[in-house]
Amino acid sequence: MDWSSIAGFVLAISGLLFGQIVEGAHPSSLLQPAAFLIVFCGTLGAVLVQSRMATFVRSVRMLRNVFKTPQDNRQKLTRDALLWNMTARREGVLSLERYLRQTKDPFVAKGLRMVIDGVEAERIREIMEVDIAAYEVYQRAAVRVWDSAGGYAPTIGILGAVLGLIHVMENLSEPSKLGAGIAVAFVATIYGVGLANLVFLPVAHKLKEQLGRDVEKREMLADIFYSIAAGENSRVIEERITSYE
């Protein structure tokens, strides 16, 4: 569990609520279903227009990664890489079959398979770099959904404010209805700006950071498989891995 993400959300929301109390207002004044529907549904609709459904669903599934502590398995990769290289140099590349059967990572399996098949080192690097680029584009499309939501929400909030003011202008002759319309107008703006800057954009930046680390790990693996295929010394492989730290 990534406690920094949880603490950040709790702190941000608590700050808004306590600030409202310090100002002498009741927190319930921020609860406006009409304003929430305008901002949330409007933002959701805008995001769906620009994204494919599969991309949108993938972006929602990625949300759980914001609350998961990223695992740094670089030391394990170092041990595995040195073991793969030592086995290949002593027993031949065909002996890597047993490690291929054990791995659950498709990217690692692809690299080991190319080494076992005797693909040239430069060709392995070329293929894996194309694979990395395609993976980054694929994942970044899902992350962009959250980034876009952060851009749309404030504008939708302004639309909600305008709708609230229109409602106010339509009921100038009925003072009892003015308060509700003004509340929707201002709270819609708060929802739009708040969701963008406290939820959507922070989530997007967190996912971008995680994607960057994942891409770096794959680049490191590409270097490892290149080195094994080229028959380089284990010390060289270890130095390559160290350069990514």
Number of domains in the chain: 2
Do 117 and 168 reside in the same domain of the chain? yes
Buried/exposed code over 11-43 (b: 16+ C-beta within 10 A; e: otherwise): eeeeeeeeebeeeeeeeeebebebbbebbbebb
Q: How far apart are CA 173 and CA 185, in angstroms?
A: 18
Are 188 and 161 in contact, with CB atoms under 8 Å apart? yes
Do 156 and 134 reside in the same domain of the chain? yes
Do 139 and 110 reside in the same domain of the chain? yes
Do 24 and 37 reside in the same domain of the chain? no
**pLDDT value at residue 207:** 93
Do 108 and 145 reside in the same domain of the chain? yes
Q: Which two tokens stand for residue 137?
A: 């584009």
Q: Quickly count: other Cβ atoms within 10 Å of residue 108's Cβ.
A: 20
The pTM (predicted TM-score) of the whole model is: 0.82
Do 132 and 222 reside in the same domain of the chain? yes
Do 64 and 117 reside in the same domain of the chain? yes
Do 238 and 197 reside in the same domain of the chain? yes
- pLDDT tens figures, 199-218: 999 999 999 999 998 998 89
Residue range of the domain that includes 24: 1-29
Do 154 and 59 reside in the same domain of the chain? yes
- pLDDT tens figures, 43-94: 999 999 998 999 999 999 998 888 877 676 777 888 888 889 888 888 888 8
**pLDDT value at residue 245:** 62
